[in-house]
Structure 1
Amino acid sequence: MVTPDDISAAAARIAGHVRRTPVVEGIGGAVSLKLEHLQHTGSFKPRGAFNTLLSGGVPKAGVVAASGGNHGAAVAYAAKSLGIQAHIFVPEIAGPSKIALIERTGAKLTVVPGAYANALEAAQSYEAETGAMQVHAYDAPGTVAGQGTMMAEWEEQGLDADTVLIAVGGGGLIAGALAWLGGRRKVVAVESTGTATLYNARKEGPESTIQPQGAAANALGAAKIGRIAYNLAERDDVQTVLVDDDAIGAAQTLLWQEVRQLVEPAGATALAALTSGAYQPEPDERVAVLVCGGNIAPDPLS
Structure 2
Amino acid sequence: MRLAHEDVQRAAARIGGHVRRTPVAEVGPGLLLKLEGMQHSGSFKVRGAFNRILAAVEAGPFPEGGVIAASGGNHGLAVAYAARALGVRAEIFVPEVCAPVKVEGLRRLGAEVTQTGAIYADAYEASQKRAADTGALEIHAYDQYDVAAGQGTLAVELLEQVPDGVDTVLVAVGGGGLVAGIVAGLDGRASVVAVEPELIPTLHRALDAGEPVHVEVTGVGADALGASRIGRIGLQTTTGRVSSVLVSDDAIVEARRALWRDFHVAAEHAGAAALAALRSGVYVPEDGERVAVIVCGANTDPATLTG
TM-score normalised over the length of structure 2: 0.94
Tell me by how many angstroms 1:299 deviates.
6.1
* Conservation of the 8 A alpha-carbon contact between 2:266 and 2:302: no
Equivalent pair of 1:188/1:239 in contact (CA under 8 Å): yes
Contact 1:96 1:298 in 2 (8 A): no
C-alpha contact 2:70 2:93 (8 A) present in aligned 1: yes
Amino acid at match of 1:42: G
* Distance of 1:266 and 1:293 partners within structure 2: 7
User: 1:75 is matched with which residue?
Assistant: 79
Output aligned runs, 1:227-242, within 5 Å: 227-236=232-241, 238-242=242-246
User: Equivalences for 1:1-302 in 2 at 5 Å?
Assistant: 1-27=2-28, 31-55=31-55, 56=57, 57=60, 58-158=62-162, 160-236=165-241, 238-297=242-301
Please give the alpha-carbon distance, in whole angstroms, between the structure 2 residues aligned to 1:211 and 1:291.
Answer: 24
Deviates more, 1:129-138 or 1:281-290: 281-290
Q: Which runs of 4+ in 1 moved over 4 A?
A: 298-301
User: Cα deviation per residue 1:206-230 (whole Å; 9 max; x = unaligned)?
Assistant: 2311111100110000011111110
Q: Is the 8 A contact 2:80 2:106 kept in 1?
A: yes
Name the SS of the counterpart of 2:143 in structure 1.
coil
The answer as to whether partners of 2:92 and 2:114 remain within 8 angstroms in 1 is: yes
**CA–CA distance in structure 2, aligned partners of residues 80 and 296 of structure 1:** 22
Paired positions, count: 299
* C-alpha distance 220-145 of structure 1, shift in aligned 2 (>3 A): same
Structure 1 gap segments, 5+ residues each? none
What is the CA distance between 1:287 and its match in structure 2?
A: 1.3
- Give unmatched runs, 5+ long, in structure 2: none
Is the alpha carbon distance of 1:299 and 1:18 closer, same or farther for their aligned partners in structure 2, counting shifts above 3 Å?
Answer: farther
**1:184 Cα deviation (Å)?**
2.3
Determine the C-alpha separation between the residues in 1 that align with 2:212 and 2:170: 24
On the 8 A contact 1:171/1:229 being kept in 2, the answer is: yes
Question: Per-residue CA shift, 1:227-279, capped at 9, x if unaligned?
Answer: 1110111142x111111111011111111111101110000000000001011
Deviation at 1:185, TM superposition (A): 1.2
Deviation at 1:163, TM superposition (A): 0.7
- Per-residue CA distance 1:41-87 (angstroms, 9 max, x = gap): 11000000001111124301111000000000000110011111110
CA distance in 1 between counterparts of 2:278 and 2:113 reads: 37
TM-score normalized by the length of structure 1: 0.95
CA shift for structure 1 position 113: 2.2
Q: Alpha carbons of 1:53 and 1:30: their partners in 2 closer, same or farther (altered >3 Å)?
A: same
